[in-house]
Amino acid sequence: MFQKVGDAEFVRGEHEVLKLWDQQAIFAKLRQKIAGKQPWSFLDGPITANNPMGVHHAWGRTYKDTFQRYWAMNGRDLRHQNGFDCQGLWVEVEVEKQLGLGAKSQIEAYGIDKFVHTCKQRVLKYAAIQTEQSIRLGYWMEWDDPQQLRKLAAAIGTDETVEFSPPKLPETVIRDTAEAIVAKLGNPDWGGSYFTFSTENNETIWTFLKKCFERGKVYRGHDVMPWSGRGGSAYSQMEVADGRKLTVHRSCFVRFPLVREERQTVVAGQDQEYLLVWTTTPWTLTSNVAAAVNPELEYVKLRSKRDGGIYYFAKDNLDFQRLAKEYKEGFGRPEWMWPAGVPKLKTIGQFFKEIGGYEIEGTLKGAEMIGWQYLGPFDDLPAQTIAGGVPCDPQLEQKNGVSCHRVIDGGRDFKGSANVVAGEGTGIVHIAPGCGDVDHQLGKAAELVGIAPLGEDGRFIEGFGEFTGREATDPATIDLVLTRLKERQLLVADEKYPHIYPFCWRTGDELVFRLVDEWFINMDWREEIMQVTDQIRWLPDSIQGGEREREWLTNMRDWMISKKRFWGLALPIWVNPEDPTDFDVMGSLAELKTRAVEGWAEFEGHTPHKPWIDLVKIRSEKTGAVLSRVPDVGNPWLDAGIVSFSTLGFNTHPDYWRKWYPADLVTECFPGQFRNWFYSLLSMGTMMNWDRTEDPVEKRPFKTLLGHRLVMNEAGKPMHKSDGTAIWFEEAAEQIGVDTMRWMYLAQNPSLDLRFGTRHPDQPVTLETVKGPTNLTIDGVATHRVTSTPADETRRMVMIPLWNSYAFFVNYARLDEFDPTAPQVPVANRPEIDRWLLSNLQALISGMRTAMEDYNSSEAARLAATFIDDLSSWYIRRNRRRFWRSKDANDQDKLAAYQSLHTVLVTLTKLLAPMVPFLAERMYQNLVRSHESSHENGHENGHESGQAAGTGNPAEVPESVHLCDYPTPDLALLDLDLNESMSAAQTVVALGHKLRDDADRRVRQPLPELRISTSSLLQREAIERLSDLIREELNVKQVTVCDSLADIVKYVYKANLKTLGPKYGKLLNLLREKLPGVDGRLMEPLRAGQSVRVTLDGHEIELEPADVQVGTEQATGWVCTDDRGIQLALSTELTPELLREGMARDFIRRVQQLRKDASLEIESRIRIAYQTDEPLVAEMLIEWGELIRGETLADQIESMGSISTAMEEVVVGEAKVHISIEIV
């Protein structure tokens, strides 16, 4: 027996389904069902286990779950492995906050071992939280028990023995220290989520780096990198992009005196020549080494009238309006408007005018200036005269900073654009190879010494006089520089200069450019990676992912893999402290053990992390020296990029790896990932396989990538944690409902931002969760109201109509005691509309399969929504009466209706199960499981498509919809002609409603006749076939299909430009204008499918039916319209009989509304009382009383002499009537 169905209560239903899955261990049964089948390999991109999930995480996780469920229902084996990203600065940042540590030195004082333990604990804590949240989302993965993860977290850093049962071996109890267990989480034998801090993950990166080393790609490099003083670390190219801000610097114009001959004394004043240079970072002038020009640019020789000094700079810059556009329009983002309080910038010409005017004495090419020597502004600093520069380059020991001061060619970048251009500056660029990226490269090319002024803390090192110890970015430092320049009469002007500048994404501090030595992978094998990239399908097409990835690969620099921090991959590079060129890379812990000369015993028993791994020393095979590990940790994208090897057991379970590599699908939020995760996966896949195969197809780590954009608030703006607008996962889940959210994500075009909803930080709310009411999130944040228009729309358009269709079926099936196991009425004997519904269902099944296999969930959602709409507002609405006819065991038509609808609903639950797993489960449990399973086989046989069809297998009906097979289309039931016909009929009905609207005739008022004419035979047949339906639907007494509506309608013939254009070309305009004016009688054969010949302005034109489009215009006594070749005319004539019938239907409708208002049961019988002064009403009741009583289940209709208080005034036809009802 079906259970009675009431309001949907989606969220409460989800809670019940979660309990059901849990109690009956449905997921475990699914794992059993698919074990050993053909694999479908999904690779999860690790989620950072550092914070709770927000709604933005749920989008990708919905894709991941949906496609995995889909393939599981198709009988494919899956690994169901989630991943957590565990190592890196982002965890350190939070742990620093948690422990109140502000600088690297404080961490060292606290103890790196304790710090690293806390990092591990934090990761385990948030892994547990994210696991619980994911389960709430319905994300089916082989999860670790969150309580076990918490237990492990608590025991980290202690010697106590912890008991642990892995997800794959629930009966087994592992006893070991927390550290030892945690190091092995997620291995193929244990199952459960993978953690990138696991020893296998770290060790597989060692394998990768070893391969790089063997190919000679690992090197230690000096480079000028963005550096954070407080963070004590360089930032990679990938990270800097995320931290740019608009800021105001004090920039200055400085003059460098030229020296034309040796030992020339420089005296400010008449005829002294200067290079005019400009910089936004005055502190770098301390480390100036050279000045660069563009040889092709024209420079001007300007004499200042004040002291007769001569200045050189780019001619175009004299009157160049600097930042003129930015002054008006800002810097490219709404929040980057010109800062208040910063005046408009002056031109260089203006500066000279303000100090007494100038004269132009001539121009010259930059090429002529190359080689000129000058005096630097801070040549008195010791660093400027140290041989070989700072740090000393042994190759350049005969030079120092001062001796390098000359004008050089600024050169071109790798794209061929000049490094020095006219514009913002002066066309002469101050070069400090120790303080700038381009400067560094130019310096190397020109064999200049470098002067690197800053230490790891971002302060000046020894050798910089009064600057030593000062912070480069401190405004007081800038002031000091400017003061000294002024004293030396070198400062021409200074100003406030706004620009976009990199900041540290974690401390918010300004970054400086600092010469660092870091470890790099030489990426000169980028071509190999591109070939792999080309073998991958990048979805969605519209974002051109393959091209984006190629672009990154083309332009990227060498990969900086080191970071001077504490928590992360221990880079397996051991180096000679005396000689940086003497280094070796370890490919595994086993190799390290055989090479170790000290420290192994102390290290053993710990994970390969700092500080323990640093104890191990090895001996150089080259020099015999003792090598120490570089103190750095690794770039975290190494951790995430290796997972297609580490989690598949590349080193430890090679058969397993071969079975599951490459992944069929990866899916991730794409902004940023082309240079991050996708990049590291691709490059690591390429390198790991380089010695195995030449074929890029075999190297690729994944076959298809599905990217999606970002989740925004409803206004399309980013949501921020800081201002309370970021929506936490459970807030959305418990207020909006998880199925609804999932549908929103799946229906969204992945190439566009999803405007999810709005969080109201001023409206606290109590959430009803599975565990009871709460007003805090899992992480202790107060919960607030979340509104979402797209969610409301999804519920209104999809979820509620589906639920109501289901409720309609169940509630009538209960009343009627419908037995789903009764023998099936043969489909051929069912009414046309049932066959249409079943045919449409087959079209839906194949459409959804195609869409899902193409990872196009938005198409799948669209198809399903259209079907649900057809089901609810067409099939059920049209067929209601078949369900509520009186009980009659032999009513085959009624049985057919129940069977058709039941089949459709059951199939729908399976089709939708991957998308809305909760709702599908609830419906399935009632539609299928509420009956004894032994009966189900009979029902599932016959015309029902799906796994049970025709098998006669006495096995039980699956316990859960998620243990069913995904439906396959039954082509015997697919009737495309019928689908077309119904679509034509639906068009006719829509047009008919429009006509009624035009004529101001409500649908309850019957009208005498509808005439239809079509241009195609197919449509004509379709309409004839479905004319009864059209008649009922439009409430007309007669539907007539005619050859012509000529007697009531005037036809209009228009040229079909698409077919006539190619035939007649220039004559087309004539045709378009004249054709509608041709005598209609000449054109009539066209509507019968024959060609005609007409003469227009002397041109003989042959017209085929396809060349002409027939429309209708103006009618007499009728209203008419046309669309898609169908013409309709509706008679609006009303007879007294028709009027009375219309009133009767009004009367019925009003009574039904009263029944509903009184919440009567469907089967309750009533008595109707009415009062009216209109005699027409009484006449109508005599004629139609029996129908009214039947329709409204009324035993009697009584006329009352007066109006009672229970009565409501209603309008019937044009008459006012007072009506009341009461239960008999």
Partner RNA sequence: GGGCGUAUAGCUCAGUUGGCUAGAGCGCAGCUCUGAUAAAGCUGAGGUCCGUGGUUCGAAUCCACGUACGCCCA
Q: Which is nearer to RNA, 97 or 557 (CB)?
A: 557
Encoded one letter per residue, x for contact with RNA by CB under 7 A and - for no contact, window 996-1035 reads -x----xxxx------------------------------
Footprint of RNA on residues 238-257 (CB under 7 A)? 238, 241
* Mask for 431-460, x = binds RNA (CB under 7 A): ------xx----------------------
Work out whether 843 is an interface residue with RNA (CB under 7 A).
no
CA angle 483, 488, 492 (to 5 degrees): 75
CB of 533 to RNA, least distance (A): 14
Q: Quick one: 123 or 802, whose CB is closer to RNA?
A: 802
Residue 101 carries which DSSP code? -
Pair 179, 121: CB distance under 8 Å: no
Residues in 290-329 at the binding interface with RNA, rule: CB under 7 A: 329
Residue 498 in contact with RNA, rule: CB under 7 A: no
341 touches RNA by CB under 7 A: no
Residues 733-752: x where in contact with RNA by CB under 7 A, - otherwise, as a string: ----------------x--x
Establish whether the linkage from the previous residue to 540 is cis, with ω within 30° of 0.
yes
Residues 861-880 that bind RNA (CB under 7 A): 869, 872-873, 876-877, 880
Residue 1181 CB neighbour total at 10 angstroms: 22
- Please, which of residues 680-719 interact with RNA by CB under 7 A? 716
SS3 292: strand
Interaction pattern, residues 791-810, with RNA; x per rule: CB under 7 A: --x--xx--xx--xx-xx--
884 is a contact residue toward RNA (CB under 7 A): yes
Nearer to RNA, 176 or 869 (CB): 869
Q: Could you tell me if 724 and 559 are in contact, meaning their C-beta atoms sit under 8 angstroms apart?
A: no
* Sign of torsion over alpha carbons 996, 1000, 1004, 1005: negative
> Would you count residue 755 as binding RNA (CB under 7 A)?
yes
Running DSSP on this structure, what letter comes out for residue 1078? S
Smallest separation (angstroms) from RNA to the CB of 415: 6
Longest dimension (CA), the chain: 127
Q: Is 184 among the residues that bind RNA (CB under 7 A)?
A: no
Give residue 220's Cα distance to chain centre: 37
Judged by CB under 7 A, the chain residues 549 through 568 that form the site for RNA are: 551-552, 555-557
Which residue of 36, 332, 773, 1077 would you call a contact of RNA, by CB under 7 A? 332
Would you give the distance in Å from CA 421 to the centre of its chain?
40
Among 262, 762, 1100, 1163, binds RNA (CB under 7 A): 1163
Least separation, in Å, of the C-beta of 871 and RNA? 8
In the bound complex, what is the minimum distance in angstroms from residue 1148's beta carbon to RNA?
A: 6
- Which is closer to RNA, CB of 360 or CB of 1162? 1162
Give the nearer residue to RNA in terms of CB position, either 359 or 1113. 1113
Q: Does 930 bind RNA (CB under 7 A)?
A: no
872 HSE (CA, 13 A, CB side):
20
Which of 463, 465, 672, 724 contacts RNA by CB under 7 A? Answer: 672
Please name the helix (run of DSSP H) or strand (run of DSSP E) that holds residue 595, with its range, or none: helix 589-595
DSSP string, 1098-1158: TEEEEE-GGGEEEEEEEESSEEEEEETTEEEEEE----HHHHHHHHHHHHHHHHHHHHHHT
- What is the enclosing helix (H) or strand (E) of 1038? strand 1036-1041
**Phi, then psi, of 534 in degrees rounded to 5:** -70, -15
Q: Is 1028 exposed, middle or buried (0-12, 13-18, 19+ CB in 10 A)?
A: exposed
Give the one residue of 222, 659, 785, 994 binding RNA; rule: CB under 7 A.
994
For residue 102, the number of C-alpha atoms closer than 13 Å in the C-beta half-sphere is 2
Closer Cβ to RNA, 280 or 489, answer by number: 280
Alpha carbon distance 405, 1078 (integer Å)? 90
Structure tokens at 355: 């100090």
Q: Which two tokens stand for residue 1045?
A: 């509506």
CB 252 within 8 A of CB 125: no
Rounded-to-integer distance, Cα 724 and Cα 761, Å: 6
Nearer to RNA, 582 or 1208 (CB): 1208
Which stretch in 545-553, 603-611, 772-780, 1080-1088 sits in contact with RNA by CB under 7 A? 545-553
Pairing label, strands 1007-1014, 1126-1131: antiparallel
Cβ neighbours around 376 below 10 Å, total: 25
The conformation of residue 464, written as its DSSP 8-state character, comes to S
Q: Give me the residue label for tokens 């740019």.
A: 244
Q: Count CA within 13 A, CB hemisphere, residue 1221.
A: 22
Name the residue nearer to RNA (CB basis): 112 or 500: 500
* Contacts of residue 971, Cβ cutoff 8 Å, sequence gap at least 6: 842
CA distance 927 to 160: 52
Task: Say which DSSP state 81 is in.
Answer: -
Counting residues that bind RNA (by CB under 7 A) gives 83
> Using CB under 7 A, which residues numbered 1082 to 1121 contact RNA?
1109, 1111
626 is a site residue for RNA (CB under 7 A): no
> Per CB under 7 A, does 548 bind RNA?
yes
Q: Does 237 bind RNA (CB under 7 A)?
A: yes
Residues in 1192-1211 that interact with RNA by CB under 7 A = 1192-1193
Closer to RNA at the Cβ: 286 or 1019? Answer: 1019
Q: Check residue 1068 for interaction with RNA (CB under 7 A).
A: yes
Query: What is the footprint of RNA within residues 134-173 (CB under 7 A)?
Result: none
The answer to whether 570 touches 609, Cβ cutoff 8 Å, is: yes
User: In degrees rounded to 5, what are phi and psi of residue 1218?
Assistant: -105, 130
- The minimum distance between CB 1066 and RNA, in angstroms, equals 4
Tokens found for residue 635: 């770039």
Beta pairing class for 233-234 and 218-228? antiparallel
| Residue of 169, 972, 976, 990 interacting with RNA (CB under 7 A) | 990
**Minimum CB distance to RNA smaller for 699 or for 1150:** 1150
Residue 295 or 1111 with smaller CB distance to RNA: 1111
List, as one string, the DSSP characters of 623-647. Answer: T-PEEEE-SPEEPHHHHHHTHHHHT
- Where does this chain touch RNA (CB under 7 A) — which range of 308-316, 660-668, 670-678, 938-946? 670-678
Q: Which is nearer to RNA, 337 or 461 (CB)?
A: 337
Among 99, 367, 500, 1078, binds RNA (CB under 7 A): 500
Q: How far is the CB of 803 from RNA (least distance, A)?
A: 8
Among 1054, 1085, 1158, 1198, binds RNA (CB under 7 A): 1054
Q: Which two tokens stand for residue 1118?
A: 């009728």
Site for RNA in 191-230 (CB under 7 A): none
1080/1095 Cα distance (integer angstroms): 14
Among 79, 322, 484, 675, binds RNA (CB under 7 A): 675
- Rounded least distance, CB 656 to RNA, Å: 35
- 1167 forms part of the interface with RNA (CB under 7 A): no
Site string for RNA, 397-416 (x = CB under 7 A): ----------------x-x-
- Considering beta carbons, is residue 438 or 1041 the nearer one to RNA? 438
Contacts with RNA in 502-521 (CB under 7 A)? Answer: none
Least separation in angstroms between residue 786's CB and RNA is 17
Going from the C-alpha of 976 to that of each of 201, 828, 983, the distances in angstroms are 54, 15, 10
Q: Is residue 1145 near RNA by the rule CB under 7 A?
A: yes
Cβ distance to RNA smaller for residue 802 or 973: 802
Cβ distance 751 to 709 under 8 Å?
yes
